[in-house]
Amino acid sequence: MTETLLEVNDLNVAFRLASANLTVSSDVSFSVDRGKVLGLIGESGSGKTVTSKAILRLLPKNASLEANAIRFKGRDISTLTEAEFNRLRGTELAMIFQDPVGSFNPVKTIGWHFRTVGKLHRGAGAPRGEIMKEAKEVLAKADIADPENALRKYPHQMSGGMLQRCLIALVMFSKPSLIVADEPTTNLDNLVERQILDLFDKLRRETDASFIFITHDMTIAEMISDSVIVMYAGQIVEQGPTEALMRRPQHPYTQGLVRTARELEGEVETLTEISGEIGTGVHPENRCRFAPRCPLYETACDHAIALRPVEGHGLVRCIKAGQGAANEVTP
Amino acid sequence: MKLKHFLHNRTALAGLTITTLFLLAVFFGPMLSKWSSNQHDFMNALQPPSWAHPFGTDSLGRDVITRVLEGARISLLISVAGVFAAMVFGITAGLYSGFHGGWMDVIVMRVVDLLFAFPAFVLALFLMVALGYGVTNVALAIMLVYLPIFARITRNMTETVRNDAYVQAAQVMGQGTPRILFREILPNISAPILVQATIAVAFGIVIESGLSFIGLGVQPPTPSLGVIMADGQEYFRRSPWVLTLSGLSVTVALLGLNLLGDGIRDLSDPRLKVRE
């Protein structure tokens, strides 16, 4: 029996700009089970980062957030005061950013960061020796060869890959139940990316923490997640178990992504692209948002499309979903 | 910033040397003197430099060097107290204002603009007239002159780093706002503030001397550089040493602190750090 850790209902995020209100995330609903990994996929501007930051209340001031409910461990956290919410951060909810170098305070040692987090969660009177001992253990778990030495170093003295390990260790140090990882391997080279992904894989098996893993790379999502959400222009276009979604993607956009990922694995001369761009964020209400780029577009697409369940899959936002083998992606 | 880098930078080294010598002189110099700063000796008034009085005596026969060192110490302490208070309030206001933005930022910065609109010395003069004479009020005037500068520097620096990833990371880890401001942001923006502080102390001495010179600041017989200069200018034609030495010590203090500030600025600029 799996237990639902996080449940998001009808999340809407809009930015107030001088010219207009820009909706960047509309009617997003999903849930994360304890100990599971949810992959959140989409191209730049699809709203994946904004959606996850909204859950952690890290949006800039000109953003407005509306949600039916964001339930964490059964409690609605969207109505908490800032002080109450701050107690959840770090202890229960944590985030790993894209840029490991920038995530550390440049004038402080790695050890200082561990001490700060340690004191924050274990009380100011927590013995320093104990915090440092635990820090070394968690660094060793994150495959840092010489934790003792790492704690003494400043961020600029370490490589990006090492820092990402340290950051992951720092986040695991406070034992959160939900970790949002925002493209944690984007700034790293391929070899290091592989190692970091292996580390994530190891951690998810060793702890009962849940992850929301944001990425634009289908192969990474396939490797690491139990279920996947594909976002396009602020909407969820498809969601379901990773395996089914990768094998038989239903939405034309997902199909394009999966096809490209498969082509990258094989050796092809030219990659199939999804032509066009994601648009400005102002979308006509009465039309499928993917319509301008969709190879299957027809006049029936010119109305608001709802997310609907498809047999043997999850939810798909396309009128043609579930219409037989036409949707099969062959490598 | 390592000591090694510091010693390799000629400006910083010169500034540090002059400032250190100045500090040693004003704090320990008077102890070595056989005279005290308020010891009158009318028989020996306005004596030119001699072995007994290396820089002569003033109109009341007081030893000039002892008085100048004593006075420089008082001027320095007043300036440091004023600048320190300005830093405490200015930095706090700047951090909150730069971090939160919004209406609070607007109000704080408009008050700062208002204070900036007056030339420093005119503002100090006005404050002395409003507050009355005395050592504490001179320090208060210096504080109000420098508070807007610290507030503005801190605010602008805070604004540039507040969206950095480590600030967000600190938020995600559940750190409260004061902690983020003083422990995460402040150490990252301390270099320009430190530079401003050394220069502010130097010009704080000038403000103190100016106010005391025209009789609004420290009141005689307490020596301060301004008080001594005021004394000395009356007899400048007959015995120039009184004014000259007190004026020179203001110059030396300014020179030392300015060079030190410049040196710190050079060292904290990563683009200049390549020369090792």
> What are the structural domain ranges in chain A?
249-331
* Cβ atoms of residues A290 and A233 within 8 Å: yes
Could you tell me how many residues make up chain A? 331
pLDDT at B111 over 60: yes
Indicate the pTM of the whole model.
Answer: 0.77
Q: Measured between alpha carbons, how far is A2 from A13 in angstroms, rounded to an integer?
A: 29
Q: Measured between alpha carbons, how far is A197 from A39 in angstroms, rounded to an integer?
A: 13
CATH 3.40.50.300 corresponds to the domain B3-23+62-272: no
Contact B165 A58 (CB under 8 A): no
Q: Which amino acid is at B109?
A: M
* Cβ atoms of residues A233 and A24 within 8 Å: no
List, for residues B210-269, the tens digit of each pLDDT value.
888 888 888 877 888 888 888 888 888 887 888 888 888 889 889 999 998 888 887 776
- Residue A326 has a pLDDT of 46
Q: How many CB pairs under 8 A join A and B?
A: 60
Q: Measured between alpha carbons, how far is A91 from B32 in angstroms, rounded to an integer?
A: 61
Cα-based angle A138, A144, A150 (whole degrees, multiple of 5): 90
The tokens of B158 are what?
A: 């805070």
Q: How far is A50 from chain B (nearest CA, A)?
A: 14
Q: Which amino acid is at A222?
A: E
H/E element, B141: helix B135-161
b/e code B241-256 from CB counts within 10 Å (16+ = b): bbbbbbbebbebbbbb
Flag the least confident range among A156-170, B28-42, B167-181: B28-42
Q: Which of A93, A103, A116 lies closest to B165 in CB terms?
A: A103
List, for residues A26-40, the tens digit of each pLDDT value.
888 888 988 889 999
Peptide bond into B221 cis (omega under 30): yes
Rounded to an integer, the average pLDDT of B143-162 is 92
- Residue A325 has a pLDDT of 43
Contact A103 B187 (CB under 8 A): no
Share of chain B above pLDDT 90, in %: 25
- A28 three-class SS: strand
Contact B169 A94 (CB under 8 A): no
pLDDT at B126 over 70: yes
Q: Which of A58, A102, A116 lies closest to B172 in CB terms?
A: A58
- A210 three-class SS: strand
Contact A120 B174 (CB under 8 A): yes
Q: Which amino acid is at A65?
A: L
- Residue B271 has a pLDDT of 54
List, for residues B61-94, the tens digit of each pLDDT value.
788 888 888 888 999 999 999 999 999 999 999 9
Minimal-distance CA residue of chain A relative to B184: A105
Contact A103 B184 (CB under 8 A): no
Q: Which residue of B2, B106, B157, B173 to mutate against A (max A Cβ within 10 Å)?
A: B173
Residue matched to tokens 């102390």: B201
Whole-number CA gyration radius for chain B: 22
In chain A, which residues have pLDDT < 50? 325-326, 331
CA B163 to chain centroid? 32
pLDDT at B141 over 60: yes
Rounded to an integer, the average pLDDT of B200-205 is 92
- Residue B83 has a pLDDT of 96
Contacts of B169 in chain A (CB under 8 A): 95, 97, 103-104, 167
Q: DSSP assignment, residue B255?
A: H
Q: Which amino acid is at B254?
A: L
CA distances from A109 to A45, A80, A149, B9, B191 (A): 34, 34, 11, 26, 18
Q: How far is B173 from chain A (nearest CA, A)?
A: 4
Q: Provide φ and ψ at A303, rounded to 5°.
A: -150, 170
User: In sequence order, what are the residues at sequence separation of 6 or more whose Cβ sits closer than 8 angstroms to the Cβ of residue A32?
Assistant: A4, A5, A6, A7, A38, A178, A210, A212
Residue B23 CB burial class (10 angstroms; 0-12, 13-18, ≥19):
middle
Give the residue with greater pLDDT, B241 vs B35: B241
Give the β-pairing of A21-33 and A4-16: antiparallel
Contact A89 B184 (CB under 8 A): no
Q: Which of A58, A91, A108 lies closest to B168 in CB terms?
A: A58
Contact B102 A61 (CB under 8 A): yes
pLDDT at B273 over 60: no
CA A118 to chain centroid? 25
pLDDT at B276 over 60: no
H/E element, B8: helix B3-8
Contacts of A90 in chain B (CB under 8 A): 172-175
- Residue B272 has a pLDDT of 52
- B189 three-class SS: coil
A325 beta partners: none
Q: How far is A104 from chain B (nearest CA, A)?
A: 5
